[in-house]
Chains A and B, each alone.
Chain A
């Protein structure tokens, strides 16, 4: 299952400068881009920055999008790049915020796996700190929404063979980091 994009006419309208059409695109995709950012960056403030950078860049670059039916893959590629920039910006901050992901929320209490899911999410978040941005991105793209590797390769614009290799290495690194987290 993949997210259903808006009709190409909406993308076409936004490309032609229709702010209302672009707003509709942002509204329908903001949560997805924010979640992707969270899965890659593990930090709510960073994810919000990355989501905003994604849409700002998308608005500016839409006139250059020749194939409107590739909008979602294009947007996700921008999102991965925005996560990269957000990660770099993180080093310049003086104050760190306590991520909400470290607090138990009502939403999390209702998760399918309850406290176990929260604990796993915290372990995952900690383990991801040991991975490169590229490794985090390919893992998030593949595991968050179950995207097939072919689609991930398309989003990252790399050969499937390369995506396969990167995913395998990233998974191995993540497994190692998760084992280390489990021993703590």
Chain B
């Protein structure tokens, strides 16, 4: 018996042992036969699947549900330096003056928790592996598992990539100019997209992306920090939402019913047919304490897609199992897009619905689409209390 604690090292070693096997010899051939048989990329053909997967596919019904998971770390802050206005960015966003990093740092001591629009350059910066701490650090504490986006005032290279013996090694250069960490917390809106990875293109750095973040200092979460970290937490810039990413505007819709708020955010309202569309829905309990609620076993979120001026509609649906969960005030839950599709044959759009379902990502045909986030749940235990259905729609345009 191994009496050693299950720390990070032991767990990682166990994972490596669990997965220390190459793929079966015949898997490569069967996979290539299944996927590369012809270049027409016809819809999934189960006859090419391995026998056991065919059995699995036999249960494929009219009501289809597939869940798609459809979202950096730490540096210090420098002393304020330059105060020039952000270049290449609008002067205001949503009525807020866009500040440089220097300006935001200068404003912090007297800003309270009022919202600030911060413009700057963002590039990932992270330690390569860190153990999960034995206790959950407060959200704004300086801990290696806490998310913090490095925002620099000037465009500069932070992460360098070097390929050696088939692997890549990353190294980090500390920023030279004004910078701060912006914290993406559980209540932050639109997931900040992960920057383009430089390895494949042969670039030697992560290309910084210009962003505008709406956020605030002196967040209430600072009260949960340890005394040693209280000052750090008070001065942390907490992201409320992403307003611009690489020049693109984001979109937000909300629905409030009773003590519940559903917020639906998309990185953009302009997409292309080749884009993998992403979005984040967040459900928040605005009361005090916590509340029990019952919902589908897969969670309270669903999403609907409606072609404006067209006939294609992918409505939302859920499994009817009732799973009781808790929602705590100040601890919202969020979800990426979950696709649900149902239809009754014969339906002229059946082929499209099958294709939409089979796509592991979310792609939409050209046109205008209403995308709606739904939160459906019943207060209390056993799904016997008051039912809520919150809807937050966003209209997007998809270009060829």
Contact = CB atoms under 8 A, between A and B. Distances in A.
A55 B31 contact: yes
Contacts of A4: 163, 166-168, 199
A29 B35 CA distance: 14
A22 B184 CA distance: 36
A158 B336 contact: yes
Given A48-B27, A49-B56, A66-B272, A171 B19 contact: no
B21 A100 contact: yes
B95 interface: no
Interface residues of B, number: 98
B35 A56 contact: yes
A116 B9 CA distance: 13
Contacts of A65: 274, 276
Nearest to B331: A165
B359 A120 contact: no
Contacts of A155: 194
Interface string A153-183: 1111111111111011001001100100010
Nearest to B279: A157
Contact of B167 (A3, A107, A117, A137): A3
Interface in A33-75: 33-36, 38-39, 42, 44-45, 48-49, 51-53, 55-74
A127 to B, nearest CB: 9
A168 B136 CA distance: 7
Contact of B36 (A19, A71, A140): A19
Interface in A83-107: 84-86, 88-89, 92-93, 100-101, 107
A154 B194 contact: yes
B31 A26 contact: yes
Contacts of A53: 53
B50 A157 contact: no
Nearest to A120: B14
Contacts of B170: 2
A161 to B, nearest CB: 4
Interface string B45-86: 000111011011111000000111111110000000000000
- Main SS class of interface, B: loop
A161 B184 contact: yes
B41 A69 contact: no
Given A60-B43, A113-B17, A52 B31 contact: yes
A158 B192 CA distance: 8
Contact of A161 (B124, B186, B200): B186
Interface string B173-205: 000000000011111100111101111111000
- Which of A55, A124, A159 has the largest number of chain B CB atoms within 10 A? A159
Contact of B147 (A61, A63, A116, A160): A160
B275 interface: yes
Interface stretch (B106-114, B125-133, B380-388): B125-133
B200 A6 contact: yes
A111 B34 CA distance: 34
B363 A64 contact: yes
Nearest to A84: B67
Contacts of B27: 30, 34, 48, 51-52
Nearest to B187: A161
B284 interface: no
Nearest to B336: A157
Contacts of B34: 52, 55-56
A66 B274 contact: yes
B35 A160 contact: no
A150 B147 contact: yes
B130 to A, nearest CB: 8
B169 interface: yes
Interface of B: 1-2, 6, 8, 10-24, 27-28, 30-32, 34-36, 39, 41, 43-44, 48-50, 52-53, 55-59, 66-73, 124, 126-130, 132, 136, 139, 145-147, 163, 166-170, 183-188, 191-194, 196-202, 272-276, 278, 280, 334, 336, 358-361, 363
Of all A-B residue pairs in the complex, the 8 with the closest CB atoms, nearest first, are A154-B194, A160-B147, A89-B56, A34-B23, A146-B129, A121-B17, A59-B35, A120-B14
